[in-house]
Structure 1
Amino acid sequence: MIYGYARVSTKEQNLDTQIETLKGYGCEVIIEEKHTGTTFKRPQLDKLIKGFKAGDKLIITRVDRLGRNTIQLLQLVEQLKEMDVSLFIIELGIEATHRNGKLFLTILSALSVNERELLTEKRMAGLRNAQANGVIMGRRRKPKGLVDEAIKLWLQKEYTIREIEKATGVSNSILYREIAKRGLKRELV
């Protein structure tokens, strides 16, 4: 039996391109999954693997569809090999469970992990550099004076929250959070 496995990382992403490609390669059954590859939890793939029989074939469009961790990826390839299940990666045009395919996959996977770590390092260095140059990260805080003014208006009971928000620029969520933080209550008339 020829199985296809299509995975995307988020629920908003689309599997259509992978599914069409897998159909073009003769997949009789296509398993779909929407789950991040950085964790190695893929319930649909795990279920599929448990049902494999010797001689079955698994086809994926790209190596990163199985995950991004080299060691776990190679363990999966070895597990499939021991089950006599072949793994074909369309993007690379290789049978990953064969000796040369496994070697190529090992090198490629290691390069992929290195690239991801390098991107993370660059991003963190950029953030540190921006902070060192005075760039404020995250949401900007409202000046304390504006929050105090919004609370005064709220305590006066003359204005709606929307009017206070418009006059001071302090959002209702900030206003309510500050009211709760200060333990304030308005007297009922």
Structure 2
Amino acid sequence: MIYGYARVSTKEQNLDTQLEKLKSYKCDSIIEEKHTGSTMKRPQLEALLQELKAGDKLIITRVDRLGRNTKQLLELVEELAEREVILFIIELGMEVTNRNGKLFLTILSALAENERELLAEKRTAGLKNAKEKGIKLGRKGKSNKLVEHAIELWLLNDKTIKQIEQATGVSKSILYREIQKRDLKREEAGEGK
């Protein structure tokens, strides 16, 4: 049997391009997965690997669809070769379970791993640089004026939390967090408390 395996790293990405390529190779079955490559948990791939038998062919579009690091990928290629399962990578246009294929795969996989590490280093350096320049990173918080206004309304004790939320746009979680942080108390517990 001919199996295709398509994987993307995030739920937002789609598999369309991979699926199109795999269909052109007349796969009997195409397994789809949306999991990050850095996590070892890829249940669809694990199930597929259990199902593969000698003489079966596994087709993937690119080297990095099976593993994120060279060691992980080469162990999988070795396992498939021992089980007499043919691994074909469309990007390379070749089977990689033979000796020359494994050599080429090792080189490509190492380059891909190096590229990921370089990107991670650049991202870390960029974040550090932004922090040193005083650039605030992360989600933008509600304006201090809006939070202050929401607290004033809460202290007046004549509006419910829902009414305060609607009037100011400050969520109840932000409001409660600020109340707790400032250790504020109302004179009487109103219906908004």
Q: Same fold (TM over 0.5)?
A: yes
Residue 6 of structure 2: SS of its match in structure 1? strand
Correspondence for 1:184? 185
**Pairwise CA distance, 1:147:** 4.2
Paired with 1:28 and 1:164, the residues of 2 have a C-alpha distance of 58
Please tell me whether residue 105 in structure 1 is matched to residue 105 in structure 2.
yes
Identity of aligned residues (%): 67
Conserved in 2, the CA contact under 8 Å of 1:154 and 1:164? Answer: no
What do residues 36-65 of structure 1 show as CA deviations (whole Å, max 9, x unaligned)? 111122111111111221111100111111
- Please report how far the alpha carbon of residue 112 of structure 1 lies from its aligned counterpart in structure 2 after TM superposition: 0.6
- Describe the SS at the equivalent of 2:30: strand
- Structure 2 length as normaliser, TM-score? 0.85
Deviates more, 1:72-81 or 1:24-33: 24-33
Partner-residue secondary structure (3-state), 1:175: helix
Q: Which amino acid aligns with 1:80?
A: L
Amino acid at match of 1:130: A
CA distance in 2, matches of 1:47, 1:63: 19
Pairwise CA RMSD: 2.3
Q: For 1:94 and 1:20, how far apart are their aligned partners in 2? A: 18
2:44 matches 1:44: yes
SS in 2 for 1:32: strand
Gaps of 5+ in 1: none
SS of alignment partner, residue 92 of structure 2: coil
User: Which residue in 2 is equivalent to 1:165?
Assistant: 168
1:9 alignment counterpart: 9
Give the drift of 1:186: 5.7
- Indicate the SS of the match to 1:13: coil
How does 1:27-66 map onto structure 2 within 5 Å? 27-66=27-66
| Equivalent pairs, count | 186
TM-score (norm. length: structure 1): 0.86
Native 8 Å contact 2:58 2:88 kept in 1: yes
Q: Which letter does structure 2 place at the counterpart of 1:11?
A: K
In structure 2, the CA distance between the partners of 1:24 and 1:183, relative to structure 1 (3 Å rule), is same
Unaligned runs of 5+ in 2: none
Offset of residue 76 of structure 1: 0.1
Residue 7 of structure 1 aligns to a residue whose secondary structure is strand
